[in-house]
A and B are shown apart, each in its own frame.
Chain A
């Protein structure tokens, strides 16, 4: 149970394009979803927290106009990297919260999306 699916797993695109990453909770309703960014050999850094039906809360230093988050349903959140540039290349990971009886797992993680901007 508590499976989170992230798509695509890997994307390469040209500088200046926008890229959308999807995060789906497959077998539970996710009232909250989290988006992380991870550079090689580093830890996960929280970018934003999104609650279904409301605006996302961004962490300090994260540009909300650059990283658009939509959480329109209890099973889907999307992260759009707008006008992506090489410095946006990273590993983006989502997680979802809201499963029943899972006090010991506040977040369930997807397998990440590797974004490479040429």
Chain B
């Protein structure tokens, strides 16, 4: 349904703590997922991706977990820093080609 009028869910964490951002997807046929970071006034920035034949993938300070059984994706950020403050979106590749469908997003606020 439409999300008009809804506010982004917000996650507030203390600097240095770990952050976990969750995402539910709807298309069980999706086989590729990406997490993006969007800072205010900018376009989405690629963080990490995962294919459906994997359960976990790690990058620098970030880990993505995929649970296909419940169609759930999570992004873990270790030792969260003020520069991590942004909106985070999950996206799934759908419909063939390179078409992406974005989730609703989560606002991450890092408190000093």
State the Cβ distance, B10 to closest chain A Cβ, in Å.
10
Q: Which of B17-47 contact A (CB under 8 A)?
A: 32, 34, 41-46
The residues of A that contact B46 with a CB separation of less than 8 Å are 104-105
The total of chain A residues at the interface (CB under 8 A) is: 24
Contact A41 B8 (CB under 8 A): yes
The DSSP consensus for interface residues of chain B is: loop
Query: Given the complex of chains A and B, what is the CA–CA distance between A9 and B42 in angstroms?
Result: 9
Contact A106 B41 (CB under 8 A): no
Contact A6 B100 (CB under 8 A): no
Contact B100 A43 (CB under 8 A): no
Pairs across A and B, CB under 8 Å, 21 listed: A32-B98, A34-B99, A34-B100, A42-B6, A42-B8, A42-B104, A42-B105, A43-B103, A43-B104, A44-B44, A46-B101, A95-B43, A104-B34, A104-B46, A105-B34, A106-B34, A109-B45, A110-B43, A112-B42, A112-B43, A114-B41
Q: Which of A73-118 contact B (CB under 8 A)?
A: 93, 95, 97, 104-107, 109-112, 114
Q: Decide if B93 is an interface residue (CB 8 Å cutoff).
A: yes
The residues of A that contact B32 with a CB separation of less than 8 Å are 106
The residues of B that contact A114 with a CB separation of less than 8 Å are 41
Q: With A32-B98, A41-B6 given, name 18 new contacts (CB 8 A).
A: A32-B97, A42-B8, A43-B102, A44-B102, A45-B102, A46-B100, A46-B101, A95-B43, A97-B97, A104-B46, A105-B49, A106-B34, A106-B98, A106-B100, A107-B100, A109-B45, A111-B41, A111-B42
A106 — nearest CB in chain B belongs to which residue? B98
Contact A112 B98 (CB under 8 A): no
Q: Decide if A49 is an interface residue (CB 8 Å cutoff).
A: yes
